[in-house]
Amino acid sequence: MYQNFQTYLQDELSKIEDAGLYKKERIIVSPQGSEIILENGKKLLNFCANNYLGLANNPKLIEAAKKALDTHGYGMASVRFICGCSDLHKELEEKIAKFFGTEDTILYAACFDANGGLFEPLLSAEDAVISDMLNHASIIDGVRLCKAVRYRYANADMEDLEKQLQMAQAQRFRLIVTDGVFSMDGNVAPIDKILKLAEKYDALVMIDESHSAGVVGKTGRGVTELFNCRGKVEIITGTLGKAFGGAIGGFTTGKKEIIDMLRQRSRPYLFSNSIPPLVAAAGSKMIDIMSETNELQDKLHENTDYFTTKMKNAGFDIKPTQSAICAVMLYDAKLSQIMASKLQDEGIYVTGFYYPVVPKDQARIRVQLSAAHNRADLDKCIDAFVKVGKELKVI
Ligand SMILES: *Cc1c(COP(=O)(O)O)cnc(C)c1O
């Protein structure tokens, strides 16, 4: 039996490879940080991690995790409602709610699960989901699992959203669903305008703050802070895997009854293991650090401004950004791959993206800034871009 299937898979895999879309893993042998060491011993400055605040190797988080290993052991060996809930899990849930100005929080093994388990317990065939076309794969999958009628609107396009909301008046409840930061361009969802339309057309609002929590807004409270809308959306989802320490875990935070219903009916919560206590403990520490000081956000915002300004001045075509994502537009797919590879030769680790990850003829290199980068790191990256950019006649 396997033989036919094997031939089929081999064919499909070579098609992926021929299209230049085959994904290879690069093996890192150091902690995640502004500088990483690859298996071959090569040192690179890392500009493609979601380690926006540099917390992935933060000594205080490591200490909190080690301490929890001693007091609470390694694993929970259970889902939450059987015997997988420790005081550390509850503490983190409360802290996340406080951070976002919401009423309650439910933890998941990942934000992919938070989004996967969000829609089906809340909405039925009588209801509507109105979703931004550029929303994350986990939102798309989560929406697929529920029976609500689906409407889609062009990325951050409020006219289109309004049209879809008018059509969705036929349904009982309406939920507008959006990423906070769209990860390929770095633009943010205009949540103030979305909330106005939600009020006008009687809809609920959900925002996924995975790329924005810790990053966007003066104190890193995310897109709702940036637009002065803290506490106004009904549902926020997010990850512990990006700015929030970079380990693992996701959450949904928002209105009390919504979170309560998720605890009763959300399948990834009911049928999947709890995050390890050490991750919960480090997560709590991470929120403490962010509540005490704004140093990391200030540094990140300063780094992002410095980098994008210098790159623009050097003549690069930079997508307008309101996050720590800086898309250097090249348009040509092949060029994006050549440029990324030449940058790696210069000691800079970045990734080139092209169709189908971004629209056709919109190839780019996505640079992700971090509070862990110092001025010398940024200058080295800019210098490498300028050198390679001139060589390839991009600037
Ligand atoms: C990264 C990301 C996720 C997935 O988060 P994990 O915790 O890694 O599963 C979900 N939504 C958005 C918008 C993301 O950027």
What is the reported pLDDT for 356? 86
Q: Please answer whether residues 273 and 76 qualify as being in contact, where contact means their C-beta atoms are separated by less than 8 angstroms.
A: yes
CA of 391 to the centre of ligand 1 (A): 36
What is the reported pLDDT for 19? 80
What is the band of 21 on the pLDDT scale with cuts at 50, 70, 90? confident
Contacts of 42 (CB under 8 A, 6+ apart): none
Do 113 and 218 fall into the same domain?
Answer: yes
What is the reported pLDDT for 129? 98
Question: Is 89 in the active site?
Answer: no
Do 135 and 229 fall into the same domain?
Answer: yes
CA of 6 to the centre of ligand 1 (A): 32
Residue 70, burial from CB neighbour count under 10 angstroms (0-12, 13-18, 19+): exposed
What is the reported pLDDT for 181? 98
Q: Can you tell me the distance from the alpha carbon of 366 to that of 330, in angstroms, rounded to the nearest whole number?
A: 10
In a domain, 172, yes or no: yes
Pocket test for ligand 1, best of 107, 212, 239 (most atoms within 8 A of CB): 239
**Chain mean pLDDT for the chain:** 97
Q: What is the pLDDT of residues 169-210, one digit of tens each?
A: 999 999 999 999 999 999 999 999 999 999 999 999 999 999
CATH of the domain at 165: 3.40.640.10
Whether the pLDDT of residue 1 is over 90: the answer is no
Average pLDDT over residues 94-119: 98
Q: What is the pLDDT of residues 279-336, one digit of tens each?
A: 999 999 999 999 999 999 999 999 999 999 999 999 999 999 999 999 999 999 999 9
E strand segments, 16-157:
35-37, 43-46, 104-108, 128-132, 149-153
Whether the pLDDT of residue 20 is over 80: the answer is no
Q: For residue 332, what are the domain limits?
A: 20-49+294-391
Q: Is the pTM of this model over 0.85?
A: yes
Which of 72, 211, 285, 301 is the catalytic position? 211
Q: Please answer whether residues 136 and 208 qualify as being in contact, where contact means their C-beta atoms are separated by less than 8 angstroms.
A: yes
Helix (H, G, I), strand (E, B) or coil at 129: strand
Do 288 and 298 fall into the same domain?
Answer: no
What is the reported pLDDT for 92? 98
CATH of the domain at 350: 3.90.1150.10
Q: What is the pLDDT of residues 54-75, one digit of tens each?
A: 999 999 999 999 999 999 999 9
Do 217 and 123 fall into the same domain?
Answer: yes
In a domain, 122, yes or no: yes
Q: Can you tell me the distance from the alpha carbon of 169 to that of 63, in angstroms, rounded to the nearest whole number?
A: 52
Do 253 and 316 fall into the same domain?
Answer: no
Do 263 and 324 fall into the same domain?
Answer: no
